[in-house]
Chains A and B, each alone.
Chain A
Amino acid sequence: MSRIAEAFADGPAFVPYLAAGDPNYEASLSYVEALERGGADVIELGLPFSEPIAEGPTIQSAIVRALEGGMTPTRFFEFVEDLDVDVPLVCMTYYNLIYQFGEGEEKGPEAFVRRAAEVGIEGFVVPDLPAEEAAPLREACDAHDCELVFIVAPTTRGERLERIMSQVSGYVYVQARLGTTGARADLSDQTDESLARIAEWDVPKAVGFGISSGDHAQRVIEAGADGVIVGSALVDIVAKGVERGDPPVTVASRLESKARELKEGALRGAAGSNEQPHPERT
């Protein structure tokens, strides 16, 4: 069983996201480490791309800060090597960076995944790579024992679901609602519908997009998810720290307590689900 699968098997999994290098290399290392102390089971690390078409304004700004701070694919792999965390790491990035990585004949998904696996990355999420175009990356992941996570959107139905199911590994990223990433005050019915459509899939289901509080995390797990993915609500803490000029140690401690709140929410959700396998929702 892969370490990512184990993280979900011990469930419910809390999967936080941060953009690597936001706002700079050193601070970002301490932020990612704070997430583990706060209870992260798997961490999604963003490798920043200049045209993040699937991201909302919060994560887009984080990506701009990280790029301005000098983050590159090469630095990203150094960053992962320098990180002192034990939980499995998933690299979230856009396809062009994967496609361009390496030199000459070696260039492309194989070179990227090989290097990523060397430094300890165990999975990938690539939001602009639908299942139709994913074969080269899928092969590279298989060759290096890495997971390839796909996103299921509220609009995904019919044959597309089959196509994704046949390719996905690690966990499936269930997009809670239409749109781009970004924290929201409430969760949509789209989450329940999306979870219902893939209820039979033999892969853990992690819900992301819009989760910003422990209560959200609880509700998502109660709705049947195996994990929660949280990005913008955490990135927002980094952004506020930059805005106010707070020292990194303060920001790291805020991230740790936010992570704890989210993880505890997920745990509450699991406890509730155990008592009531099919809770009535109002």
Chain B
Amino acid sequence: MSSHTGKFGEYGGQYVPEALMPAIEELEDAYQRYVLENEDGFMDDFRARLADFGGRPTPLQHAKRLSERYDRDVYLKREDLLHGGAHKLNNALGQVLLAKYMGKERIIAETGAGQHGTATAMACAHLGMPCEVYMGRRDINRQRPNVFRMRLNGAEVNPVTVGRGTLKEAISETMRDWATNVEDTHYVIGSVVGPHPFPAMVRDFQRVISEEAREQIREKAGRLPDSVLTCAGGGSNTMGVFAEFIPDDDVDLYAVEAGGSSLEVDEEAGVAPNSATLSTGTEGVLHGSRTRVLQDRDGQIMESHSVSAGLDYAGVGPELADLVDRGRVTAVNVDDDHALEGFHRLSQLEGVIPALESAHAAAYVEENHEDLGEVILLNISGRGDKDLETVLEETHGRDIENAPEIETFAETGGFQ
């Protein structure tokens, strides 16, 4: 799947200001040498750090009570147990280490839910690199524990107030910083998005999820799964858990998007009340690559929505968009209410409190398990600690049928 032209079918490419092009060419060269050819033992260094610092391999857990409930075998790939609580460290550590090998002196990143910012801040502290993270003002408010974790690791967090103050604006702002400081700074993009080589490179850093999962499920189930499911925002955990299964034609791959409150779009207001880019988006050019995006008829990018900040993005990785077009990956979506139900169910039945992002995929299994075969692999991309305040607020504010009694918490002001 690796592509030297940076194209995945019609998608991909490099649509960035001229000032950034030399840095991108330099990065292409570094990706080729260090990542693909393991020059100076880069990949060995990366894998050793993922093990010692990151805690890999993460377990593949047979989810006993879910399996009983659905009368089939459900396995959870526990990326929530990776250091930092999400798959994000795989990529952040890879890129910060690469920047170090390239002789860069400063790291910048953007973050939505704060997981990527946290992972980047941790990787920077681990490797001794200065780090600045751009984060939408709105996301800062709804993901405060992660903001604090970034600060604890010594990163600067720069609030982005333009637009609606979410990931889309934070990415644009980080690109501006990069364009100003490109000579000594590396921009750690948080997903399989952006100009080539980012989509391919980030996938290769995340590929470790499916390398492990494929081995582990063979050991535990004695065979490959019938289906692999995971949530899809930008698509980094998605590509990570799919990558090694793509050649396995008998394994169905499901990318579960955030259906938000509705799939209908308000063209007039320029708002999509969802983040279901693969399901409802159209081809366009955003943040450096040609891909599927949520946009109005004129090509203005829409504000997206999801109860989960990590999925709240108007674009998606170009490779994932191409895999969906080619029919190798099925794009489906789950709305906010069902995602909350999925969150509570996994917490109650398995003792795993998932990120709201991952809860979307769990909810899809609940509704559709009969179509997913006998052996189901569900990627838990991250843990839900960062989402507790959101879950409290959103569960209290609406009718989620399997939610526990939480009135007392809500009335006493939650965790504040």
Contact = CB atoms under 8 A, between A and B. Distances in A.
Contact of A156 (B16, B21, B285): B21
Contacts of A130: 14-16, 18, 21
Nearest to A48: B300
B299 A96 contact: yes
A135 B410 CA distance: 57
Given A157-B22, A178-B183, A52 B299 contact: no
27 contacts: A51-B168, A51-B286, A51-B287, A51-B301, A53-B16, A53-B175, A72-B300, A96-B293, A96-B295, A97-B298, A97-B300, A100-B297, A100-B299, A127-B18, A128-B15, A130-B14, A130-B15, A130-B18, A133-B13, A151-B19, A155-B18, A155-B20, A160-B22, A178-B179, A178-B181, A179-B19, A179-B176
B130 interface: no
Given A49-B300, A151-B17, A54 B287 contact: no
Given A152-B18, A156-B19, A180-B180, 10 more contacts: A51-B286, A54-B176, A94-B285, A96-B293, A100-B297, A101-B298, A101-B299, A164-B18, A179-B19, A180-B179
Interface in B337-392: none
A99 B18 contact: no
A272 interface: no
B300 A67 contact: yes
A162 to B, nearest CB: 13
B321 interface: no
Interface of B: 13-23, 25, 162-163, 168, 172, 175-176, 179-183, 270, 284-288, 290, 293, 295, 297-301
A60 interface: yes
A154 interface: yes
Given A53-B287, A155-B182, A128 B16 contact: yes
Query: How many A residues touch the partner, as a band?
Result: 35 or more
Contacts of A152: 18
A160 B14 CA distance: 14
SS of A interface (majority): loop
A4 to B, nearest CB: 20
Given A97-B299, A178-B181, A179-B180, A51 B172 contact: yes
A63 B288 CA distance: 19
A153 interface: yes
A213 B270 CA distance: 38
Given A97-B299, A100-B297, A133-B13, A151 B18 contact: yes
B298 A129 contact: no
B31 to A, nearest CB: 17
Nearest to A179: B180
A232 to B, nearest CB: 13
B18 A150 contact: yes
Given A51-B168, A155-B182, A180-B180, A160 B21 contact: yes
A95 interface: yes
A8 to B, nearest CB: 21
A169 interface: no
Contacts of B22: 153, 155-157, 160
Contacts of A132: 13-14, 21
Given A50-B300, A53-B176, A178-B183, A95 B23 contact: no
B3 to A, nearest CB: 14
A129 B16 CA distance: 6
A156 B18 contact: yes
A212 interface: no
A175 interface: yes
What are the 9 A-B residue pairs with the smallest beta carbon separation, nearest first? A100-B299, A153-B19, A179-B180, A54-B17, A96-B285, A96-B299, A50-B300, A155-B22, A53-B175
A73 interface: yes
A96 B294 CA distance: 12
B15 A54 contact: no
A128 B285 contact: yes
Contacts of B287: 51, 53
Interface string A49-70: 1111111100010001001000
Given A52-B172, A95-B285, A178-B181, A100 B19 contact: no
Nearest to A56: B176
Interface in A135-159: 150-157
B17 A96 contact: no
Contacts of A160: 18, 21-22, 25
Given A130-B15, A133-B13, A178-B180, A53 B298 contact: no
Nearest to A103: B297
A89 B361 CA distance: 51
A130 B285 CA distance: 13
A97 B179 CA distance: 22
Nearest to A95: B285
Contacts of A127: 17-18
Contacts of A54: 17, 176, 179
